[in-house]
Amino acid sequence: MAVPILLLLLFFSIPFSESKLSEDYYKQTCPDFQKIVRETVTVKQAGQPATAAGTLRLFFHDCMVEGCDASVFIASNHVNKAERDADINQSLSGDAFEVVVRAKTALELTCPGIVSCADILAEATRDLVTMVGGPFYPVKLGRKDGQVSLASKVDANLPKTNQTMDEIIKLFADKGFTIEEMVALTGGHTIGFSHCKEFTDRLFHYSPTTPTDPVMNPRFAEGLKKTCANYTTNPAMSAFNDVITPGKFDNIYYQNLKRGLGLLSSDHALVKDPRTMPLVELYSKNQEAFFKAFGHAMEKLGHHEIKTGQQGEVRRRCDAFNTIQA
């Protein structure tokens, strides 16, 4: 009797919603799901190389707020200001939204009403990360799209560039993520860019006596000052998170941190804190270790507070609930 009881205990230790997910969830109902998503993201990434980084950030912003339920796609209306219009989400990539909507349109023609926007985003993110050199990791499917999207819930659930490492670690810990998982997920900064307003305090207003953060590589800082000289009048000004290999998913981001080439205050904080510095050292020297940790963390992120069964719906359009919300 001991073995069946043990198996039963193991089953109940798995969150019920997560246990419903499977890699072949659409095998019978939409067998071309993976093929359609892969073809869609390949075309989009070829035309707009920033799509991969933008989609990875979109996935993170979606999952951290109300779980991975595509709630970030919902458009605001006269009675509801949705997540997408929260201040911190104003800079999310239009290409990232578009690639998911393109895939959704193609899937609705092939297997209408079957595939959730949340699953498309999860699959597209993995495919794009892999396309730019990152690790392949399994994506289990079966998420439903959420039926709540409130801008008021966004701010407290996403890390900010000016937060202390204590605050960032606590935010992730409150969601069940370890320090190792947080540092690995932050490695997503190996691709993409940040707007100047996110880091200009380090360039122009570090302290009353020292305008520029002294830990920044001097040549790097001077280059950023030129790039961001007009950031107050042109808020679209930005810089690559990884100045060495900005379009390739690799471990150079961690090497940059040790050279004073970290762009954001939160990036540099990883080097200063004794809890995170050993992981920066490990990932900077061992790309395989980083890829393994990143893949694991992305799998876990993809299961965060998901909706299954009657907890959600399969939206007909990613930007609108199927039924009008009161």
Could you give the domains of the chain? 32-153 (1.10.520.10), 165-303 (1.10.420.10)
Q: Does the annotation list 166 as a binding residue?
A: no
Mean residue pLDDT across the chain: 93
Q: Does the annotation list 250 as a binding residue?
A: yes
pLDDT digits over 218-275, tens only? 999 999 999 999 988 988 899 999 999 999 999 999 999 999 999 999 999 999 999 9
Tokens 């709630």 belong to 71
Residue 236 burial by Cβ neighbours in a 10 Å radius (0-12, 13-18, 19+): exposed
Closest CA to 204 of 181, 219, 190, 221: 221
For the question of residue 205 being annotated catalytic, the response is no
Indicate the pLDDT class of residue 183, thresholds 50, 70 and 90.
very high
Asked whether the beta carbons of 85 and 75 are under 8 A apart, the reply is no
Rounded (5°) CA angle 221-165-304: 115
The β-bridge partners of 194 are 239
- Other CB atoms closer than 10 Å to residue 89's CB: what's the count? 20
Q: How far apart are CA 102 and CA 162, in angstroms?
A: 35
Q: Does the annotation list 116 as a binding residue?
A: no
Closest CA to 149 of 56, 58, 69, 54: 69
pLDDT, residue 19, reads 56
Q: Does the annotation list 174 as a binding residue?
A: no
Q: Which of 61, 268, 303, 304 is catalytic?
A: 61
pLDDT at 16 over 50: no
- For residue 303, give every residue at least 6 positions away whose Cβ sits within 8 Å of its Cβ, in sequence order, or none: 15, 18, 21, 68, 140
CA distance readout (Å), 234 to 54, 92, 202: 20, 17, 18
Asked whether the beta carbons of 58 and 72 are under 8 A apart, the reply is yes
pLDDT, residue 235, reads 86
Q: Does the annotation list 125 as a binding residue?
A: no
Q: Does the annotation list 267 as a binding residue?
A: no
Indicate the pLDDT class of residue 295, thresholds 50, 70 and 90.
very high
Asked whether the beta carbons of 318 and 108 are under 8 A apart, the reply is no
Q: Is 234 helix (H, G, I), strand (E, B) or coil?
A: coil
Asked whether the beta carbons of 122 and 141 are under 8 A apart, the reply is yes
DSSP state of 71: G
Q: Does the annotation list 190 as a binding residue?
A: yes
